[in-house]
Structure 1
Amino acid sequence: MKEKVKVAKLSILSNTGLIGIKLAAGLSTGSVSIISEAIHSTMDLAASIITFFSVKISSKPADKQHPYGHGKFENVSGVLEAVLIFIASLWIIIESAKKLINGQEVTSSNIGFIVMFLSAGVNYLVSKKLYDTSKKVDSIALEADALHLKTDVYTSLGVGAGLFLIWITDLHFLDPIIAIFVALFILKEAFTLLKVAFAPLVDVKLCDKEIELITSILNRYNFRYCDFHKLRTRKSGDKRYVDLHLVFPQDMSVKNAHDICDKIETEIEHSLKNTECMIHLESCDNNCRNCPFHTEYTSANTSRDGH
């Protein structure tokens, strides 16, 4: 949790500094594209603050009111961040359209593109740190914050390149056009983030790769049980939950069946980070033809009983 909170604080500090620089540059030059970037960074700051509190809450252990833990607070924060980005993008498009219709020149565009390139460099370093940590601790909130800043890198580079062109060509109508493209790019980011963050809130299954890993582990033990079914998976923050039913021969003792379940649960939990696995035992109805288990355990029991 300490590592999560530490990088969340770093994001807050970097966004706060960049907002001041971008806003000052935008107001002094009259560039709507720089101001749109300042708004983008303001949304990033809001997202970073939400991320900071969500990772602190999500790291709390399970309690009476939240028996499955607090992991979904990270997903809620991701959805809120996506909504903030949608609002900011629409505002940028509206303001840019007004500037395009009314016409307004950009002054000191050379200062503007220097600020944008500096912003891109800072956000690249911070987003890389956030992304690496999110993968390490499997945090959707940190990944969302990293996605924000990664997008900010591209949009800052785009605005900087546009201001450089204005400085060379003196074509000032490029400024609101660039701002609109920035907003559309941000909208795409918001949609991606909303899709990723919202899925666990409605208990979407784990990805196919993780389910294949679970089934491959089960198949390695298929000589110990008759069948498995009702495999269900879901995710809550960084926690994965797996449950299924295993069918055992009627003649197998509960202890033997339970020991097998323990082995399978342990292997699944060790193979998938932050996973809780629960297996329900079922007894075979002996309706399967040519079942090797029935013969094997019946013979073993007969020999043991002397009949």
Structure 2
Amino acid sequence: MNSWDRKVKVALLSIISNTILIIFKLIAGVLSGSISIISEAIHSGMDLVASFIAFFSVRHSSKPADREHPYGHGKIENLSCIAEGLLIFVAAAMIIKEAVEKINAPTEVEQASLAIAVMIGASLINILVSRKLYQVAREEDSMALEADALHLKTDVYTSFGVAVGLVLIKVTGLNILDPIVAILVALLIIKEAWELCKNALNFLMDTKLTDEEEVQIEEIINKYSDKIMDFHKLKTRKSGNMKHIDFHITVDSNLTVAEIHEIIGCFKKDMADEFKCTRVTVHVDPYRE
């Protein structure tokens, strides 16, 4: 299975799992009257929208470069992360609004055992799906899938937190704990949204690759120190899963074009072996005494 198929199929898995969870959470929320479960259904609804965004972004980000997009379509994934982050902020605001209303007029939580079972089941499903998403996201270097996995990972914590809250309500009889748990869920969601947007904006601003990756690049270049005089002006950035590497080399002015071309080919091959998706641009400067 190629990279594109893997990303699309795992994104589709996220859509299916979120749809199922929304149905069960809504049923449990309506039957129990729990605002924390309703808040979780809202969260899962936003997760579903985010999954659709991830699905369409991974489909389009893998398109090859064309006349209008000579550097490819990779930044679609970065844009999708920002969209997902904004959706999470909206979901958190809706949850807090509903929770505050319930604090002022608390309602009794009914059928708590059913609600607890649904929340624990939701946590287990999201653990499995998020692990799969993280695995493919890391292997294919997909920011959109990583964002989707982060959504589900947060859903694991919030669903489990709601289950704990419902257990406490059942033990203590304090129904006000329900909206308080919902607000804590919303705060966790806001933190998630901030991390998503910050990471996506870094790549849209053409932030360089990590220090570790740049050290690896320099090590590859230095392997050929006997063929070049020096290298300088190293610049790196990332678009989607594509790493762009740009640097200058100084070479003996007596080298032929064919010899220089061979050296550049070695750089490109070694960097492609080290990093899964790269586009390497090498500028040649002749040595002058």
> Structure 2 length as normaliser, TM-score?
0.96
Cα distance in 1, alignment partners of residues 64 and 227 from structure 2: 35
Q: What residue is the counterpart of 2:162 in the other structure? A: 159
Q: Which amino acid aligns with 1:88?
A: A
Q: What residue is the counterpart of 2:276 in the other structure? A: 273
Indicate whether 1:210 and 2:219 are aligned: no
Cα distance in 2, alignment partners of residues 142 and 250 from structure 1: 47
Tell me how far 1:191 sits from its aligned partner. 1.0
SS at match of 1:251: coil
Superposed CA RMSD in Å reads 1.1
Q: Is the 8 A contact 1:116 1:156 kept in 2?
A: yes
String of CA shifts for 1:103-125, please: whole Å, max 9, x gaps.
22212222111110010011111
Tell me how far 1:253 sits from its aligned partner. 3.1
1:14-93 paired onto structure 2 within 5 Å: 14-93=17-96
Indicate whether 1:192 and 2:160 are aligned: no
String of CA shifts for 1:149-184, please: whole Å, max 9, x gaps.
011001000000110111111111111110111110
Cα distance in 2, alignment partners of residues 56 and 263 from structure 1: 32
Q: Please identify, of 212-221 and 101-110, the stretch whose mean Cα deviation from structure 2 is larger.
A: 101-110
Q: 1:106 aligns with which of 79, 104, 109?
A: 109
Q: What residue is the counterpart of 2:144 in the other structure? A: 141
Cα distance in 2, alignment partners of residues 236 and 9 from structure 1: 23
Q: What residue is the counterpart of 1:297 in the other structure? A: none
Larger Rg: 1
SS at match of 1:60: coil
Tell me how far 1:29 sits from its aligned partner. 1.1
Tell me how far 1:193 sits from its aligned partner. 1.1
SS at match of 1:66: coil
Cα distance in 2, alignment partners of residues 263 and 121 from structure 1: 47
1:179-258 paired onto structure 2 within 5 Å: 179-258=182-261
> Structure 1 length as normaliser, TM-score?
0.91
String of CA shifts for 1:167-214, please: whole Å, max 9, x gaps.
111111111110111110111111111122222211111111111100
Tell me how far 1:241 sits from its aligned partner. 0.7
Q: Which amino acid aligns with 1:17?
A: I
| Gapped regions of structure 2 (runs ≥ 5) | none
Q: Is the 8 A contact 1:245 1:281 kept in 2?
A: yes
Cα distance in 1, alignment partners of residues 254 and 67 from structure 2: 39
Q: Please identify, of 252-261 and 238-247, the stretch whose mean Cα deviation from structure 2 is larger.
A: 252-261
String of CA shifts for 1:45-76, please: whole Å, max 9, x gaps.
00001111111111111111111111111111
Q: Which amino acid aligns with 2:75?
A: K
- How many correspondences in the alignment? 286
Q: Please identify, of 242-251 and 73-82, the stretch whose mean Cα deviation from structure 2 is larger.
A: 242-251
Q: Which amino acid aligns with 1:42?
A: G
Q: 2:13 aligns with which of 10, 23, 28?
A: 10
String of CA shifts for 1:123-163, please: whole Å, max 9, x gaps.
11111111111111111111110110011001000000110
Q: Percent identity?
A: 50
Cα distance in 2, alignment partners of residues 156 and 113 from structure 1: 9
Cα distance in 1, alignment partners of residues 89 and 244 from structure 2: 31
SS at match of 2:236: strand
Q: Is the 8 A contact 1:265 1:279 kept in 2?
A: no
Cα distance in 2, alignment partners of residues 223 and 132 from structure 1: 40
Q: Which amino acid aligns with 2:99?
A: S
Cα distance in 2, alignment partners of residues 250 and 70 from structure 1: 38
Q: Is the 8 A contact 1:166 1:174 kept in 2?
A: yes
Cα distance in 1, alignment partners of residues 98 and 122 from structure 2: 22
Q: Is the 8 A contact 1:100 1:176 kept in 2?
A: yes
Q: Which amino acid aligns with 2:13?
A: L
